[in-house]
Chain A
Amino acid sequence: GAGVSQSPSNKVTEKGKDVELRCDPISGHTALYWYRQSLGQGLEFLIYFQGNSAPDKSGLPSDRFSAERTGGSVSTLTIQRTQQEDSAVYLCASSLDWGGGNSPLHFGNGTRLTVT
């Protein structure tokens, strides 16, 4: 069975451009998460979805960041007017549930974003 798939694996963009990062979760997983991992740092929570709704958007760094999920499956994280401090690895994860608390997260390999 396929795991969590993220695309692109690497993205280099110029400052000020918009980028879209895609995540395809494991089939049947209702919860989907976005994290950001900067060089030498831990994981920073961005947002999570239960189905298509996002109960917690508190981690989004600014209004340049947005995310959506459609059909309870694929999610897109969009960063507008990218800045150099946006350079990081963006990790997506999915889990079978969210309310029960038992299910671990399953991570994709991430998208490495470099803003020049």
Chain B
Amino acid sequence: QITLKESGPTLVKPTQTLTLTCTFSGFSLSTGGVGVGWIRQPPGKALEWLGVIYWDNDKRYSPSLKSRLTITKDTSKNQVVLTLTNMDPVDTATYYCAHSSTSMDPTYAFDIWGQGTMVTVSS
């Protein structure tokens, strides 16, 4: 059974750096075709794709956040870390991590999601 869970601060100040950890179980991020993505959702708004990291350490980022966003993995700890610098109130959102794999689906849809963690940016 695949599970993912996000953890990190619930409140950050403007200009600070956000670090969120996605801890997962039930799969390995060293297995070919596997990816873990990050998606966020401001209150009452739509989902926004942030980026993804793959088993081979290939990383893809949203162009709108590319200068501020870093995604890394620690395969031995079954964790993926999101770092977003220079936080602003518009970054207030629920942040989700999610699993994808080409073992069943060649299109890399997100088949399992974490519960999400709400991050508020305010001084």
Task: Determine if chain A interacts with chain B.
Answer: no
